[in-house]
Structure 1
Amino acid sequence: MPKKYNVVVVGIGAVGGEMVKILDQRKFPINQLKILARSSREEEIGGRTYQVTAAAEEELAGADFVFFAGTEGASGASATYLPAAKKAGAVSIDNGGDFRMDPEVPLVIPEVNPEDISKHKGMIASPNCSTIQMLVAVAPIYRESPVRRLIASTYQAVSGTGRDAIRELREQTPVALSGEGEVICSIYPHQIAFNVLPQIGSFKEYGFTTEEWKMDRETRKMLHDDSMRITCTAVRVPVFYGHAESVYIETEDVIPVERVREILSAAPGVILVDDPDNGEYPMPIDAAGKDAVYVGRIRQDPHVDNGLHLWVVSDNIRKGAALNVIQIAERMIADGLV
């Protein structure tokens, strides 16, 4: 009889709730599921009612896996509870940002660098949402010919900021449409309805934001390539679910567009939607609620022989967060690492 595992989900916001749904949808081999949050209560998730327990170190006793939900790299819970999880003998997989750049902690996308999972010492980090979908698309091309230059512009949904941001967009929209009343901004510094905000995170070195630096540094870490020249611009858009990215890469060798399509058609986790003459290309509205990374608008740069443009779309709460964490655990089980 296949082994079943005691699973603890820490955090029950947008990502934590999606983790619980995905565990059920994918029939993860669970012996016992425990959900921890700031306070005890009942939560309805996917049509089922779950008991939520107030987080405490003793609640991790007996756990095999601890999934830290977080939201868009939110910090705190994993740093607080990792010692207790290690003491329990559990493997922690963290969607938050506390350990991503820790040299002792593998940062993993199963389709990109599954070999790094075995290097864990009790903690595995899951990358930022925008990095995940970008690398699921770029890594297969990188394996064909190393990428020397990467420029990305992201168009990121409000769900990446959490449930309160979803509510803010929903509440601002009718007020902005009517032109009557005050548009209240409590989550973002400016109105998000019918607007785009060229800031995700805080501004740091060279005027780039924390979100933009994550994509740079996380990419280098997972591809084990510090020579890549990477630059990003991250933008928040008034979409509920699904990040979109314009990704430009320069490879070491020239790769014909048809070969790129072949590579991506065979790549795990990728669905090619690339028939622009017939209006077929990836869009957030089609990716929402799905597990794949969708790639289209593939074209060679007319001015740079080894330059390629891609349009990459994925559900930021599923593959960009909750699903990636669970896929890491599934890969560990499949490889006999737990």
Structure 2
Amino acid sequence: MTKTYDVAVVGATGTVGEVMLEILEEREFPVGRIFALASKRSAGKRARFRDKSVSVANVADFDFSRVQLALFAAGDAVSRQFAPAAAAAGCVVVDSSAHFRDAEDVPLIVPEVNPQALAGYCRRGIVASPGGPSIQMAMALKPIHEVAEVRRVNVTTYQAVSGSGATGLRELADQSARLLNAQAIKTPAVYTKQIAFNVLAQIDTLEDNGYTREEMALVGETRRILDAPGMQINPTAVQVPVFFGHSEAIHLETRDKLSAVQACRLLADAPGLTVVDTPEAGGYASAVTDAANQDEVFVSRIREDISCENGLNFWVVADNVRRGAALNSVQIAERLIEEYI
């Protein structure tokens, strides 16, 4: 008889939490009992799992000793308050917020990239899932780094509003509808400027060095995931009026020369990556057309950098909510039950 695990999904009514429930069902994760949890504000709502309606309970009232796994998708404040208590109650926490990503005693995991680091979960009973931009970039860099050692990366990310949660989605939808009907938009609440039909050159707050918190997170997380503390990474994070799907223009320099053909083969053979790169109009992947609702990270426009002897350029897209958050957490949980709990 297959062993089952009782699982709590914290943030079950949110953008990522809803997709977590879908993926647990789709991948036939061996769930015994499912507990849908959220803040007091959302308690009493209903979630769906295995064609059944599940009542959403208040996370503040939940006894985490009732479950073996807790998947957190409710933001930094909730993770800060409840994840340590959940781990202390005996369950293993997989957290998709940013709160634990810098903690040296909490492993930061992308299962296709650094599964060996998952053994460190036992130090605090918590595993951190990286941000969506870090996940897709690390997955694309790993096969190149293993063969030719990536020394420097210039990257610009074009990030969908779903990275800001339901409020970002609503703001883009509302502004778009108003502008298309020749109406004035409301004062932006989620973003510093109008996001509809616009591109914003700042995500999150500015640090003392002039980079944003989001950009510096991409630097630190990528180095940790790849175990490459000396890798030089120069990021620019941009908010774009796309609902779902992050895109990245990556320019890298390697120690050893790789041709575009060699790079393409390495990327095509890597787990979780799909290469879409044909020399014709439209022979590339886009966030909306190709990546939305998909599990893969798509790589296109693979070419040698004409300005750098050992340089490569490529374009990477992924669904930031599914691939860049919910799926990664479920894959971590799958690894945990296969190898550790």
- For normalisation by structure 1, the TM-score amounts to 0.95
Where does residue 7 of structure 2 map in the other structure?
7
**Shift in Å, 1:41:** 1.5
Where does residue 60 of structure 1 map in the other structure?
64
RMSD of aligned alpha carbons: 1.4
Q: Secondary structure at the match of 1:225?
A: coil
Match of 2:144 among 141, 146, 160: 141
**Shift in Å, 1:201:** 0.7
Matches within 5 A, 1:120-135: 120=121, 121=123, 122-135=125-138
Q: Give the Cα–Cα distance (whole angstroms) in 2 for the partners of residues 311 and 331 of structure 1.
A: 29
Match of 1:321 among 321, 325, 340: 325
**Shift in Å, 1:76:** 1.6
1:89 aligns with 2:90: yes
Instruction: Give CA deviations for 1:58-105 in whole Å, capped at 9, x if unaligned.
Output: 4312211111103xxx31222212332223211101101111111101
Instruction: Give CA deviations for 1:227-285 in whole Å, capped at 9, x if unaligned.
Output: 11111000010000000000111011001111111111110000100114242111011
1:245 aligns with 2:257: no
Q: Give the Cα–Cα distance (whole angstroms) in 2 for the partners of residues 319 and 223 of structure 1.
A: 18
Runs of 4+ in 1 over 6 A off after TM superposition: none
Match of 2:299 among 291, 295, 298: 295
Matches within 5 A, 1:9-158: 9-11=9-11, 12-39=13-40, 40-45=43-48, 49-56=53-60, 58-70=62-74, 74-120=75-121, 121=123, 122-158=125-161
Where does residue 304 of structure 1 map in the other structure?
308
Distance 1:33-1:306 versus aligned 2 partners, 3 A rule: same
Q: Give the Cα–Cα distance (whole angstroms) in 1 for the partners of residues 165 and 84 of structure 2.
A: 27
Matched to 2:105, the amino acid is: E
Where does residue 190 of structure 1 map in the other structure?
193
Gaps of 5+ in 2: none
Matched to 2:283, the amino acid is: E
1:202 aligns with 2:193: no
Give yes or no for contact 2:39–2:60 (8 Å, CA) kept in 1: no
Q: Give the Cα–Cα distance (whole angstroms) in 2 for the partners of residues 119 and 143 of structure 1.
A: 22
Gaps of 5+ in 1: none
Q: Secondary structure at the match of 2:280?
A: helix
Q: Secondary structure at the match of 1:279?
A: coil
- For normalisation by structure 2, the TM-score amounts to 0.94
Give yes or no for contact 2:143–2:270 (8 Å, CA) kept in 1: yes
**Shift in Å, 1:188:** 1.1
Number of residue pairs aligned between Structure 1 and Structure 2: 334
**Identical aligned residues as a percent:** 41
